[in-house]
């Protein structure tokens, strides 16, 4: 396993990381999802709403593979506090959208759906703007800790459990830039 020179300061031991999704696999999955979305939304005005920060790389790659004519991009950010007692009451909006989504078709782009509470909160928020539809596209659907029922319409990879980093996913704001997805021992 290679080492990563992080920020030019500290060498991180990658032997604690196990690769779970290779770069080629991620790119293949994204092209397949992009084909499905392009097909499902032909002739429609789509607004991709990325959930910051984790979705920034996934959204950038997905958006460039879509063959739809009218796409807008915006971002939402939620903050959760009291991480050990996760509940929707602990989630607040940190950054709202600027684009008008009334009557438009929205696709929420998320890095990973875990308990589902963040997504449920953000979908409720987006519904208040009156879009004509809201669907969800997630890079990873993680099942073990799901606490609320959320529909994830487009999924690249499904995992049962574990803490993942890379390709936008962080641990304490690090490792988002890794081109593959790794399981990290905590
Ligand atoms: P949820 O409300 O529990 O579904 O939280 C989802 C958010 O928690 C994701 O958007 C990520 O920011 C973060 N998260 C959940 N699982 C992981 C993981 O395995 N690695 C990195 N971040 C994660
Ligand atoms: Mg996230």
Confidence of residue 12 (pLDDT cuts 50, 70, 90): low
Please give the number of the atom of ligand 1 that sits closest to the Cα of 117. Answer: 2
- pTM for this prediction: 0.92
The partner residues of 158 in beta bridges, in order of sequence, read 141
Confidence (pLDDT) at 151? 96
Mean pLDDT rounded to a whole number for the chain: 91
Pocket-testing residue among 56, 86, 112, ligand 1, by greatest number of atoms within 8 A of Cβ = 112
Confidence (pLDDT) at 80? 76
Confidence (pLDDT) at 18? 95
Rounded to 5 degrees, what angle do the CA atoms 166, 83, 111 make?
A: 30
DSSP letter string over 44-69?
--EEEEEEETTTHHHHHHHHHH---S
pLDDT tens sequence across 52-99: 999 999 999 999 999 999 999 999 999 876 555 556 668 999 999 999
Q: Quick check: is 114 catalytic?
A: yes
Which residue reads 């009291």 in tokens? 82
Which of helix, strand or coil describes residue 97?
A: coil
Residues in contact with ligand 1 by the CB-under-6-Å rule are 51, 54, 110-119, 142, 163-165, 169-170
């Amino acid at each position: 396993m290679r080492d990563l020179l992080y920020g030019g300061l500290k060498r991180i031991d990658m032997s604690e990381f196990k690769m779970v999704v290779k770069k080629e696999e991620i790119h293949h999955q994204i092209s397949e999802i992009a084909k499905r979305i392009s097909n499902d939304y032909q002739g429609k005005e789509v607004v991709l709403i990325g959930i910051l920060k984790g979705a920034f790389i996934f959204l950038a790659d997905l958006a460039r593979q879509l063959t739809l004519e009218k796409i807008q991009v915006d971002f939402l950010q939620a903050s959760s506090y009291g991480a050990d007692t996760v509940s929707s009451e602990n989630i607040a909006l940190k950054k709202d959208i600027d684009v008008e989504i009334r009557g438009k078709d929205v696709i929420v782009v998320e890095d990973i759906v875990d308990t589902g509470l963040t997504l449920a909160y953000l979908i409720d928020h987006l519904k208040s703007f009156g879009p004509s539809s809201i669907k969800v596209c997630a890079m990873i659907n993680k099942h073990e800790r799901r606490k609320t029922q959320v529909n994830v319409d487009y999924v690249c990879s499904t995992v049962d459990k574990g803490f993942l980093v890379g390709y936008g996913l962080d641990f304490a704001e690090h490792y988002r830039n890794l081109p593959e997805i790794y399981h990290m021992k905590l």
